[in-house]
């Protein structure tokens, strides 16, 4: 299912003529399908693969992690443009803004073939800007490995002697995002096919030449006249023959390169949406996963750890639940409200939705009541008790709900969505009591994909807000990796 809301957002941005950003032939791609429902950036379990790199690339947390969980394929971004157009700056800005994701930068330059001794002797006559100067086969092989979440050894190219270091490589681990940057990364169709998003950095030729002279002189040990000679003989013709014609493949064209903060911000916003979007959220548009950050992952790591103490379990569960509650409240309708500030000015604001209530599924759901009360002063909270009959059957035992519940929006509370049986029983009861399905928001900490399928299929208009979607259920219908018996751990009855 296409990411309609984001596409719309980007299209309206174009319609609004965001200064300096041309989104030509905007095709906003969807990341490749995962191999399993668990393969999500927002899924729980072991942290995603680490992505390390040399100085040019970025690592999110400084620790080298071995790929250890089946993940969805990384999001591949191609960044092309003429020489010295500012590709590196644009990549650096994207990497910096995606600080909570593992991003790795691969430079096409690393795949220069390297000159033979004979070619080196007349390097000034060698065309480094022709597609044949690159070992595209090897580039494809490396990218293929990274897409399969395998580490690769990327060659190291030395611009001063036009050779590859024969013994040294840059080890690159798999990551959430791979940025492939270079003058000719859009030239070869097989390379283009690897990309989920293509960005062309479009900078004025004079500015590029001036930068090139400065850079090659200072960083690559060339004389000004040799740079100008190479530019006239090879760089400019190759730009016209190969680089410029490949611009038509770009999804996004950034004028002025790294100076264009608006364009980079929009691109990063789009990538974030793609990365944060669990595939189940695409299937069921009413499932919302709280945007994952390292802070949230850190709290999940603590509460999922079987060795964590009860006070820590309670503390970090409470923090996470508060975030989920706030997120859930964001889905309630609001009315417009004008107020006057102490400066005498009018502020056009909104008023919170009034007719609300919470309903907790006893007993784990009760652990979410404090957070709801902390956010909604004086909120009424009903209870539903569902008894587990055998491994996969649930029976409604008791309920106490506000009399006028049919007129209220209901925040249904239960930290764990497993098979979805308990939730379905509770939702059934609410609907029987007259609550319209679309007025129910089910808040939970972790969900199994099976539970999401079960609840969303039966109640397609209800909203689910969760903080992580786990891999699945075990044979005993326990959420995996999960966090064990939530109620026992929270209320200290786990002995």
Judged on CB neighbours under 10 Å (0-12, 13-18, 19+), 103 is: buried
Of 129, 251, 366, 468, the residue at the interface with ligand GTP (CB under 6 A) is 129
- For CA atoms 127, 128, 130, 136, the dihedral sign is positive
Q: How many CA within 13 A on the CB side of residue 150?
A: 8
Does position 97 interact with ligand GTP (CB under 6 A)? The reply is no
Question: Could you give the dihedral angle defined by the CA atoms of residues 277, 484, 426 and 468, in that order, rounded to the nearest 10 degrees?
Answer: -10
Find the DSSP H helices in 148-195: 189-193
CA–CA dist 30, 38 (Å, integer): 17
Positions in 226-255 near ligand GTP (CB under 6 A):
230, 235
Of 50, 78, 86, 155, the residue at the interface with ligand GTP (CB under 6 A) is 86
Closest separation in Å from C-beta 451 to ligand PRP: 5
Q: With CB cut-offs between 5 and 8 Å by kind, which of ligand GTP, ligand PRP, none does residue 328 bind?
A: none
Q: With CB cut-offs between 5 and 8 Å by kind, which of ligand PRP, ligand GTP, none does residue 88 bind?
A: ligand GTP
Stretch that binds ligand GTP, among 16-24, 69-77, 85-93, 463-471 (CB under 6 A): 85-93
Nearer to ligand PRP, 80 or 444 (CB): 444
Find the DSSP H helices in 331-385: 369-375
Does position 472 interact with ligand PRP (CB under 6 A)? The reply is no
Rounded to the nearest 10 degrees, the angle between the axes of helix 4-15 and helix 261-276 is 170
Nearer to ligand GTP, 30 or 127 (CB): 127
H or E stretch including 442? strand 440-447
Does position 470 interact with ligand PRP (CB under 6 A)? The reply is no
Of 52, 154, 183, 469, the residue at the interface with ligand GTP (CB under 6 A) is 183
Of 59, 87, 274, 409, the residue at the interface with ligand GTP (CB under 6 A) is 87
Does position 83 interact with ligand GTP (CB under 6 A)? The reply is yes
H or E stretch including 157? strand 152-158
Of 43, 53, 73, 419, the residue at the interface with ligand PRP (CB under 6 A) is 419
Does position 361 interact with ligand PRP (CB under 6 A)? The reply is yes
Does position 88 interact with ligand GTP (CB under 6 A)? The reply is yes
Of 112, 134, 313, 486, the residue at the interface with ligand GTP (CB under 6 A) is 112
Does position 363 interact with ligand PRP (CB under 6 A)? The reply is yes
Closest separation in Å from C-beta 394 to ligand PRP: 6
CA–CA dist 81, 318 (Å, integer): 48
Does position 97 interact with ligand PRP (CB under 6 A)? The reply is no
Find out whether 412 and 440 touch, Cβ atoms under 8 Å. Answer: yes
CA–CA dist 267, 6 (Å, integer): 11
Q: With CB cut-offs between 5 and 8 Å by kind, which of ligand GTP, ligand PRP, none does residue 83 bind?
A: ligand GTP
Q: With CB cut-offs between 5 and 8 Å by kind, which of ligand PRP, ligand GTP, none does residue 109 bind?
A: ligand GTP
The pair of three-digit structure tokens given for residue 138, joined into one six-digit string? 């090897």
Does position 416 interact with ligand PRP (CB under 6 A)? The reply is yes
Helices (H), strands (E): how many in the chain?
16, 19
Nearest 5°: the CA angle 457, 458, 459 is 95
Pick the closest to residue 76 from 27, 110, 30, 135 (CA basis).
30
Task: State the maximum Cα–Cα separation within the chain, in Å, rounded to a whole number.
Answer: 90
Find out whether 56 and 181 touch, Cβ atoms under 8 Å. Answer: no
CA–CA dist 167, 381 (Å, integer): 67
Does position 80 interact with ligand GTP (CB under 6 A)? The reply is no
Q: With CB cut-offs between 5 and 8 Å by kind, which of ligand PRP, ligand GTP, none does residue 162 bind?
A: ligand GTP
Binding residue count for ligand GTP, defined by CB under 6 A: 16
Of 6, 30, 145, 159, the residue at the interface with ligand GTP (CB under 6 A) is 159
Positions in 300-329 near ligand GTP (CB under 6 A):
none
Pick the closest to residue 484 from 388, 392, 416 (CA basis).
416
CA–CA dist 478, 483 (Å, integer): 9
Pick the closest to residue 385 from 366, 404, 408 (CA basis).
366
Closest separation in Å from C-beta 187 to ligand PRP: 52
CA–CA dist 22, 181 (Å, integer): 20
3-state secondary structure of 273: helix
CB atoms within 10 A of CB 140: 16
Find out whether 25 and 248 touch, Cβ atoms under 8 Å. Answer: yes
Task: Give the x/- contact pattern for ligand PRP in 421-460, rule: CB under 6 A.
Answer: xxx---------------------------x---------
Closest separation in Å from C-beta 118 to ligand GTP: 15
Nearer to ligand PRP, 84 or 417 (CB): 417
Q: With CB cut-offs between 5 and 8 Å by kind, which of ligand PRP, ligand GTP, none does residue 451 bind?
A: ligand PRP
Stretch that binds ligand GTP, among 78-86, 417-425, 427-435, 442-450 (CB under 6 A): 78-86
Does position 186 interact with ligand GTP (CB under 6 A)? The reply is no
Interacting residue ranges for ligand GTP, rule: CB under 6 A: 81, 83-88, 109, 112, 128-129, 159, 162, 183, 230, 235
Interacting residue ranges for ligand PRP, rule: CB under 6 A: 361, 363-364, 388, 394, 414-423, 451, 477, 485-487
């Amino acid at each position: 299912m296409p990411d309609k809301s984001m596409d719309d957002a980007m299209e309206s941005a174009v319609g609004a003529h965001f200064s300096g950003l041309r989104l030509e032939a905007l095709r906003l791609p969807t990341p490749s399908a995962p191999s399993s429902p668990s393969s999500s950036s927002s899924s729980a379990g072991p942290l995603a693969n680490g992505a390390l790199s040399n100085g040019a690339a970025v690592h999110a947390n400084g620790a080298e992690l071995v790929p250890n969980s089946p993940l969805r394929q990384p999001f591949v971004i191609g960044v092309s443009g003429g020489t010295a157009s500012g590709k590196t700056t644009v990549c650096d800005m994207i990497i910096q803004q995606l600080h909570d994701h593992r991003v790795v930068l691969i430079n096409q330059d690393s795949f220069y073939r390297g000159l033979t001794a004979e070619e080196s002797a007349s390097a000034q006559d060698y065309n480094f800007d022709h597609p044949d100067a690159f070992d595209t086969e090897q580039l494809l092989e490396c990218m293929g490995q990274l897409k399969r979440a395998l580490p690769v050894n990327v060659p190291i190219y030395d611009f001063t002697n036009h050779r590859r270091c024969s013994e040294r490589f840059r080890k690159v681990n798999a990551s959430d995002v791979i940025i492939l940057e270079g003058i000719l990364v859009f030239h070869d169709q097989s390379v283009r096919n690897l990309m989920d998003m293509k960005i062309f950095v479009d900078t004025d030729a004079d500015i590029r030449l001036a930068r090139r002279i400065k850079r090659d002189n200072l960083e690559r040990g060339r004389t000004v006249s040799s740079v100008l000679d190479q530019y006239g003989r090879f760089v400019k013709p190759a730009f016209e023959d190969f680089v410029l014609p490949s611009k038509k493949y770009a999804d996004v064209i950034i004028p002025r390169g790294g100076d264009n903060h608006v364009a980079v911000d929009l691109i990063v916003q789009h990538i974030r949406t793609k990365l944060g979007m669990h595939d189940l959220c695409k299937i069921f548009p009413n499932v919302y996963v709280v945007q994952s950050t390292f802070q949230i992952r850190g709290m999940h790591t603590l509460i999922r750890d079987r060795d964590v103490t009860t006070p820590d379990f309670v503390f970090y569960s409470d923090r996470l639940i508060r975030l989920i509650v706030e997120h859930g409240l964001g889905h309630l309708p609001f009315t417009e409200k004008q107020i006057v500030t102490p400066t005498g000015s009018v502020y056009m604001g909104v008023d919170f939705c009034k007719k609300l209530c919470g309903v907790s599924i006893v007993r784990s759901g009760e652990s979410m009541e404090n957070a709801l009360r902390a956010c909604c002063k004086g909120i009424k909270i009903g209870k539903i008790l569902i008894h587990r009959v055998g491994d996969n059957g649930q029976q409604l035992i008791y309920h106490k709900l506000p009399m006028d519940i049919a007129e209220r929006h209901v925040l249904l509370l239960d930290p764990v969505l497993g098979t979805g049986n308990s939730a379905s029983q509770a939702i059934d009861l609410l609907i029987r009591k007259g609550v319209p399905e679309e007025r129910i928001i089910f808040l939970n900490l972790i969900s199994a994909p099976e539970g999401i399928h079960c609840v969303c299929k039966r109640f397609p208009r209800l909203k689910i807000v969760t903080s992580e979607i786990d891999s699945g259920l075990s044979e005993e219908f326990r959420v995996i990796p999960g966090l064990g018996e939530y109620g026992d751990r929270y209320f200290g009855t786990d002995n």
